[in-house]
């Protein structure tokens, strides 16, 4: 078994970590005047009627399923900083702390079910209105709702990858092994569902972190296991970028739903759509990084807006 050496002081790691922290801290503020809701709705409806829409979704699509968003008015970023890839990869204590906290919080994410926003998008795809869905979410709810032409840009929490040998294991299977190694642990921790973060992480006292026992990879035995999701400070895999770009290339327009577009992995689709002369529409509860470039901006609850739009097609 080969463990990754401690590279926390490596200049390249330090720079990448600092860049990730800047991305995490980015606050999206108002840049343009809000658009009249009736005008925005009419524009979005015409865009959907034209068909061939690529939907780009963010955390605001899943809040009705009980999963908190990150940068919304009550988003988790105000009280919780996500772990960077550099911390997870090169700090064994930080990685152990993540798994202790995620072992408890993941159950809340795993119980989540698709809401009307997920279901409506799947229905619009089946009807030929939506060409495909590219999501920044890692909760698996679009697939559960029936979306087929789907790219999970940032991965999915239901898989775990070994950083040492590359073996992939289902999260449910890992959870069974963790439960055997930590009998009664999850049940003994008193969890307020409101403290669960979008990645399934929760705050735990250090005593509970110390008590937690991690298990190793089924193939090589390494404890360097990581949720198969893209962390801040980590690049989106090339194949996912290419599949998402293919959907946009074939789309007539881009519809952003429930995302502040604070991170470049999502914002770049707005930039690409504008460069290609394709209309951009946004439905979000608050301001987004793409507002100044969008044709239509509807400040509304995503589920309510999608239900209304779909009912008017």
CA-based nearest residue to 69, from 59, 78, 61: 59
Strands 296-299 and 130-135: unpaired
* Residue 175: burial class (beta carbons within 10 Å; 0-12, 13-18, 19+): middle
Could you tell me if 5 and 163 are in contact, meaning their C-beta atoms sit under 8 angstroms apart? no
224, 3 in Cβ contact below 8 A? yes
Calpha distance 131→28 (Å, rounded): 28
- Is 154 catalytic? The answer is yes
Q: Which distant-in-sequence residues (6+ apart) come within 8 Å of 4 by Cβ?
A: 89, 90, 163, 164, 224
Strands (E) located in the chain = 53-57, 130-135, 150-152, 155-162, 168-170, 225-229, 253-257, 280-284, 296-299
> In 10 A of CB 245, how many CB atoms?
15
Catalytic residue among 80, 108, 118, 154: 154
CA distances from 157 to 135, 199, 249 (A): 13, 8, 28
Q: Please state, in angstroms and rounded to a whole number, the distance separating the CA atoms of residues 165 and 265.
A: 27
Catalytic residues: 154
């Amino acid at each position: 078994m080969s463990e990754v050496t401690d590279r926390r002081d490596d200049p390249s790691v330090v720079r990448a970590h600092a860049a990730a922290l800047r991305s995490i801290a980015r606050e999206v503020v108002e840049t343009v005047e809000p658009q009249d809701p009736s005008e925005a709705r009419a524009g979005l409806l015409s865009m959907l009627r034209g068909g061939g829409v690529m939907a780009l979704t963010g955390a605001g699509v899943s809040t009705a399923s009980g999963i908190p968003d990150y940068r919304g008015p009550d988003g988790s970023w105000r009280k919780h900083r996500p772990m960077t890839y550099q911390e997870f990869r090169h700090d064994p204590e930080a990685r152990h702390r993540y798994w202790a906290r995620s072992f408890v919080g993941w159950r809340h994410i795993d119980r989540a079910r698709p809401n009307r926003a997920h279901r409506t998008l799947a229905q619009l795809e089946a009807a030929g209105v939506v060409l495909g869905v590219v999501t920044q979410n890692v909760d698996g709810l679009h697939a559960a709702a029936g979306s087929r032409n789907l790219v999970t840009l940032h991965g999915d929490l239901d898989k775990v990858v070994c950083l040492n040998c590359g073996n992939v294991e289902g999260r449910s299977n890992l959870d069974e092994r963790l439960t055997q190694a930590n009998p009664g642990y999850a049940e003994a921790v008193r969890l307020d569902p409101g403290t669960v973060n979008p990645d399934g992480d929760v705050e735990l006292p250090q005593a509970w972190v110390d008590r937690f026992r991690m298990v190793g990879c089924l193939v090589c035995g390494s404890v360097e296991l990581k949720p198969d999701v893209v962390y801040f400070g980590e690049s989106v895999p090339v194949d996912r970028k290419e599949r998402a770009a293919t959907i946009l290339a074939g789309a007539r327009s881009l519809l952003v739903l429930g995302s502040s577009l604070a991170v470049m992995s999502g914002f770049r689709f707005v930039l690409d759509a504008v460069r290609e002369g394709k209309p951009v529409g946004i439905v979000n509860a608050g301001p987004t990084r793409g507002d100044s470039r969008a044709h239509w901006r509807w400040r509304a609850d995503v589920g309510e807006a999608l239900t209304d739009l779909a009912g008017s097609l």
